[in-house]
Structure 1
């Protein structure tokens, strides 16, 4: 299964649209592009694998694997990239500005359901990040 994240870049944040098999899933928010600097930049465009991950802070969520010079890049709920993200990707139901959105928990639950269902069937789940 392949998820495609198509981004639009702004100085204050990065907005995106996430789709699977050509079907729109939700919008996304991220930090602005700042040369892939840890904790202040979104990740580079490219091809990544996704896997399940558990932490006390986010419970069950999704990890973006093998990001160059980065670790622990996650998909998790957040509504404001500059305040709540350190390089991760947050699904949102609706964009409200550059790097901001609404109803992130609802959007994340939708993405997690699709990704986890595929992983539980032993499918390879990948993410293509593009502009």
Structure 2
């Protein structure tokens, strides 16, 4: 299974749309692209294996494996990239501004339901992150 995150970059943040088999699953928000600098930039485009992860703070969420130059890049709930993200990806139900969205926990639940079902069938799940100008 390969999820595709289509991104559009802005100086204030990165907007995305997460799709599976050409169907929109949810939107995404991230920090702006600042040359992959830790804690202030989104991660590089590419393909990454996803792993199921639990933490007391985010509960069940996703962890991207082997991100160049970065550790613990997660897909977790957040509604404001600059205030709540340190390089991670936040699924959102709707974009409300650049790097901002709403109903992130609902979007994460929708996403993890899909991904965890595939993992339960012993499928490897990847995310392909790529540039594609989104219509906002």
Range into which the TM-score falls when normalised by the shorter chain:
over 0.9
- Partner SS state of residue 29, structure 1: strand
* Equivalent residues in 2 for 1:78-93, closer than 5 Å: 78-93=78-93
- Partner SS state of residue 69, structure 1: coil
How far residue 7 of structure 1 moved from its aligned partner, in angstroms, is: 0.2
Q: Deviations over 1:58-78 (max 9, x none)?
A: 111100110001010000100
CA RMSD of aligned residues (A): 0.5
Match of 1:24 in 2: 24
TM-score normalised to structure 2 length? 0.95
Partner Cα separation in structure 1 for residue 4 and residue 59 of structure 2: 24
TM-score normalised to structure 1 length? 0.99
Aligned length: 131
* Equivalent residues in 2 for 1:20-99, closer than 5 Å: 20-99=20-99
- Partner SS state of residue 82, structure 1: helix
67-76 or 51-60, which moves further after superposition? 51-60
* Structure 2 spans left out of the alignment, 5+ residues: 132-136
**Is residue 8 from structure 1 mapped to residue 8 from structure 2 by the alignment?**
yes
* Structure 1 spans left out of the alignment, 5+ residues: none
